[in-house]
Structure 1
């Protein structure tokens, strides 16, 4: 199963009967879906149903045992720099530098992916403001609360110009007000054309998404 013509141009993420097994354990049952440009998909299901496994496959951190997954028209895990540039993910732990401030790290990531330009730096500071991190930019990661650190990790992902954004429980450690603010930011990212694939247990984020993919136990 594959898409062609105009549909293929708009399709950003496509899985066809993709499954993951580890020895005799099924981590992800056969899963099929296709996400288009500008769509926000919420992946839901009980713990152990394969949500994180699916996201790790889409982010190129794992491979399907059977079936296929393609992101931006290429098999998952492509090492091509131009392909990796378009995929931003918060799935596994994002490394942070203990001896650099939030401002320095956010600016470095922005420059790495968008060029060392005033516009990239301005976009990074603007994003920090949207995530309510402006007053924390000159702090170090160890000086943050768990919720503030989660927002900082989100900033490192969202400052990238990725067409596809993959998020595993972005609501971790956030209170309801910050979750609502994050939902607004992600919704705006979709309006700008990004495709978001997100696993979540939070009703605010799930209800804001355009589509839902419900997974069952393997």
Structure 2
């Protein structure tokens, strides 16, 4: 599903991502580890199409990465930083809006929105506005916005940020369910608990830097 060959990212004389090659099959979780500054987020941005590699190639489902292509956008969902949030929409309004955007069936969209909100422990917060959430709740809300749509590949940058152990476990359950259903997951994390629970393979960028 994912094939990366000798991808390097530089900015002038600065190496943001040392050359790296890796492949991930459908239904596998590739966990990216490494110290701050080793290029984890840069690697994810390359896969998401938000950053062009300086050299090397990356492909998803055998196709070049093309974020302006609707097929690519349908196939790949990402959370690299928190997604945009509207101050006048509730938590559930946001999640339902995402689901409705991607699904033609309004009943199916509503069912997906309710399921994702419940899955991440946000059901009781559904009528709150974004500014009424704690930092941990906001993190889960951001993840809900990403999960409330169809995708084949899920790219996440440190989804455990600001979460306590109980909520990290909720994230693990949600991601494991999607991996086991055939989603390819690529995530960067500093959490050994998250990595140990999900990783089918681990890429240490410290070693590549």
How would you bin the TM-score normalised by the shorter chain?
over 0.9
Match of 1:186 among 145, 158, 175: 175
* 1:19 corresponds to 2:2: no
Q: What CA deviation, in whole Å up to 9, does each residue of 1:106-165 have, x standing for no partner?
A: 101001112242012111101110100000001100000000000000000111211000
* 1:54 corresponds to 2:43: yes
Match of 2:70 among 78, 81, 101: 81
- Counterparts of 1:111-190 in structure 2, within 5 Å, are 111-190=100-179
Correspondence for 1:97: 86
TM-score, normalization by structure 1: 0.92
User: What stretches of structure 2 of length at least 5 have no aligned partner?
Assistant: none
User: What stretches of structure 1 of length at least 5 have no aligned partner?
Assistant: 1-11
Match of 1:202 among 173, 191, 194: 191
Correspondence for 1:110: 99
Correspondence for 1:28: 17
Match of 1:214 among 195, 204, 208: 204
| Pairwise CA distance, 1:53 | 0.3
Distance verdict in 2 for CA 1:150–1:120, change over 3 Å: same
Aligned counterparts of 2:64 and 2:45: Cα–Cα separation in 1: 13
Correspondence for 1:4: none
